[in-house]
Amino acid sequence: MGNVIVVTSGKGGVGKTTITANLGCALAKLGEKVCLIDADIGLKNLDIVLGLENRIVYTMIDVVNGKVSPQEALVKHKMLKNLYLLPASQIATKEMISPNDMKAIVKELIPHFDYIIIDSPAGIERGFRNAVAPAERVLVVTTPELPAISDADRVIGLLENFGFSDEKINVIINRFKPHMVKKGEMLTTDDIKHTLSLEIIAVIPDSEDIIVASNTGIPVSLNGNSRISKNFENLARRIRGEGVPLENDFVTVSKGLIDTLKDFFSKLKRG
Amino acid sequence: MKFLFWEFGKKNKSRETAKKRLEQIVGTTKRRQMNITEIIPKEILDKNSDKIKERIASWLSETFNVEKEKIKIDLEEREGHVVIITNVFFK
């Protein structure tokens, strides 16, 4: 499997950036050297989720314009010394970068990293094509809702037209709510798998911890107390080729009495 | 009381509705990859293209309940694959 991975979705707001940040952190925690690339030029957020917004000196546009090399533009993470970010510019537009520019940037970075993870913008236009161009493997993020799934299906069709085989495309189900599935009010993982005809690589449950994490700039993967950090670790291990069963993603979802009490007291603590 | 139980009983689970709607949304545009079982020489395709068009037109005519004259079918070869383009004029 390739080590240049793009995280995409089609529909906006399904959690691509959160998943990119947390997958990067989880892989780095496992000892891999990881570079995250924010390809959402003009609407960048990856630096904020990682808590690196004040450390940016150069952006991808400076690299494309030849001002600095890709390595000179990288920002090192505060807590994980083997995690880096190539930030996007907020004032530039997606049209200022081409798929060939992205390929050239990734080509220069590949020898220095174990994994390069690209955060794709929403949509299927230029920004999406830029993000996908250098990738060898794709993670399609969807939530268990109709608009997100139908957009994911459209994106998967485009990816197949670009030459990605089914083995190179995996689906991540984000914001999964088991209690709704139990009540028959939400599509199951099997329903989504059947619709998209692709393997589900991870199920990430809905969690308030994600909001807290983006407030603090510390991804949940770095919070040992958060139950869904285990889900991101499972995803990272699967990306590395380890055989972690998908059922393990549901272990963290089912709350025992102690977890329920823990959640209750942590909510009280937060006020 | 009987009315109350009836109300509870008839509650429709939205997952089932979602599945049906998803099938309608995605089902029509679903990617269907088929394994190649046989490669047919171009000459055979050219010779039989009228028969193929006729079979497709018959099926479409029955499925959509439209006259065969309102169905236009073209066969094109693109990068070694046969692309079937169909136009159905419903009005």
- The owner of tokens 């940037």 is A105
A195 in contact with B, Cβ within 8 Å: yes
Concatenating the DSSP letter of every residue in A191-254 gives: HHHHHHTS-EEEEEE--THHHHHHHHT--GGG-TT-TTHHHHHHHHHHHTT----TTHHHHTTS
B83 in contact with A, Cβ within 8 Å: no
CATH class for the domain made up of A4-270: alpha beta
C-alpha span between A222 and A51 (Å, rounded): 12
A85 CA: distance to closest CA in chain B (Å): 35
Number of H helices, E strands in chain B: 3, 2
In terms of pTM, does the model score above 0.90? no
Angle, CA of A27, A217 and A48, to the nearest 5°: 90
- The helix or strand, by DSSP H or E, that contains position A190, with its residue range, turns out to be helix A189-196
- pLDDT bin (cut points 50, 70, 90) of residue A1 is very low
Q: pLDDT of A240-251, one tens digit each? A: 999 999 999 987
* Domain map (residue ranges) of chain B: 2-88
C-alpha span between A106 and A109 (Å, rounded): 5
Q: pLDDT of A26-57, one tens digit each? A: 999 999 999 999 999 888 899 999 999 999 99
Neighbours of B38 (CB within 10 A): 4
C-alpha span between A121 and A94 (Å, rounded): 9
> Cβ B22–A184 below 8 Å, yes or no?
no
Q: Which residues of B touch A153 (CB under 8 A)?
A: 26, 29-31
**What is the pLDDT, as a whole number, of residue B31?**
58
ipTM: 0.75
Nearest to A198 by CA among A253, A237, A229, A155: A155
> Cβ A183–B13 below 8 Å, yes or no?
yes
Q: Which residues of B touch A197 (CB under 8 A)?
A: 30-31
Q: pLDDT of A251-271, one tens digit each? A: 765 555 666 676 667 666 666
